[in-house]
Amino acid sequence: MEIILKTENLCKNYFPGEEELRILRDVNLNIEKGKIYVVFGPSGAGKSTLLHIFGTIEKPSEGKFFFNGEEISNFNRNQLAILRSREIGFVFQAHHLLPEFTALENVMIPAFIRTENMERQSRKKNEEKEGIKKRALKILEEVGLKNRIKHKPSQLSGGEQQRVAIARALINNPSLILADEPTGNLDKETGKKIFQLLLDLNKSIMATLIIVTHNEELAKHSDKEIHLEDGRIVG
């Protein structure tokens, strides 16, 4: 059993006013590589906060957090940015696609960000750009959008936009995919298709998949469930 994420007595606190707000309390988890996890819990239970910590967007207030065996709680901003670009793909409920760019361009952007600081000769940069484009086209074909690559988000349905968001999450070959309510804004049938697409991708690329969702029916297809209440793991 290989562990990709591990937390030890992890806590997250905020101070919106004079009083301390405890969002996560003593969370102890081992997340296995290649598995599918779903995170359940009522509103305010800390689901999204936990996902943000897993994605290194936020840091824990207390406790330890390990990624592939390395304790990263004290990584600086640049180290975390490098880790995110190499290892983590995000899929959000609201898509967060850039409206002025096509589906293809939206998918390519994370790969460009990853390589923009690499010192290369001009010819090498052109080769890199062409490689990114080929990979983006391949992924968009895999998610069923081969004929929509030139369309901008406003020209796509909600389900198509979410497929673009999933393709974007895959462009850098992540070992971890984090999805925060990826079917929340979709109708039931489209939501099922998106969830099935995520399950199929997990099998094909063997990336660990962690999904925050309220849909218990869809979660039956996962490997493990994480239940949060009041910031604690229950059950």
**Location of structure tokens 């968009």:** 140
Q: Over 50: is that where the pLDDT of 112 sits?
A: yes
Q: According to the per-residue pLDDT averaged within each range, which of 24-28, 113-117, 143-147, 214-218 is highest?
A: 24-28
Starting at the edge strand found earlier in the chain, the sheet holding 176-180 runs 88-92, 176-180, 208-212, 36-40, 224-229, 232-234
Structure tokens at 167: 């393709």
Tens-place pLDDT, residues 11-25: 999 876 677 788 999
Asked whether the predicted pLDDT for residue 116 surpasses 70, the reply is: no
Give mean pLDDT, residues 47-67.
Answer: 93
For residues 6 and 66, is the Cβ–Cβ distance under 8 A? yes
Kindly report the CATH number that applies to the domain delimited by 3-234. 3.40.50.300
Crossing angle of helices 158-170 and 122-142, rounded to 10°: 130
pLDDT of residue 127: 62
Counting residues of the chain whose pLDDT is more than 70, the rounded percentage is: 94
pLDDT tens-digit profile of 170-203?
898 899 999 988 877 778 888 888 888 888 888 8
Residue 101's pLDDT band (boundaries 50, 70, 90)? very high
Comparing C-alpha atoms, which of 229, 226, 227 is closest to residue 5?
A: 226
pLDDT mean over 142-157: 93
* pLDDT at site 5: 96
- Per-residue confidence band for 119, with pLDDT thresholds at 50, 70 and 90: very low
**pLDDT at residue 30 above 70?**
yes
For the chain, the DSSP string reads --EEEEEEEEEEEE-SSSS-EEEEEEEEEEEETT-EEEEE--TTSSHHHHHHHHTTSS--SEEEEEETTEE-TT--HHHHHHHHHHHEEEEETT----TTS-HHHHHHHHHHHHHTTS---HHHHHHHHHHHHHHHHHHHHHTT-GGGTT--GGGS-HHHHHHHHHHHHHTT--SEEEEESTTTTS-HHHHHHHHHHHHHHHHHH--EEEEE-S-HHHHTTSSEEEEEETTEEE-
Residue of 58, 52, 56, 61 whose CA lies nearest to 10: 61
Beta strand pairing status for 36-40 and 88-92? Answer: unpaired
Percent of the chain, pLDDT > 90?
51
Instruction: Write down the pLDDT at residue 124.
Output: 57
Instruction: Give me the mean pLDDT over the 38-50 stretch.
Output: 90
- Residue 125: the pLDDT is 60
Contacting residues for 199 by C-beta, under 8 A, at least 6 apart: 36, 209, 221
Provide mean pLDDT across the span 206-218.
Answer: 85
Average pLDDT (130-142) is: 90
Question: Taking residues 48-77, what's their average pLDDT?
Answer: 91
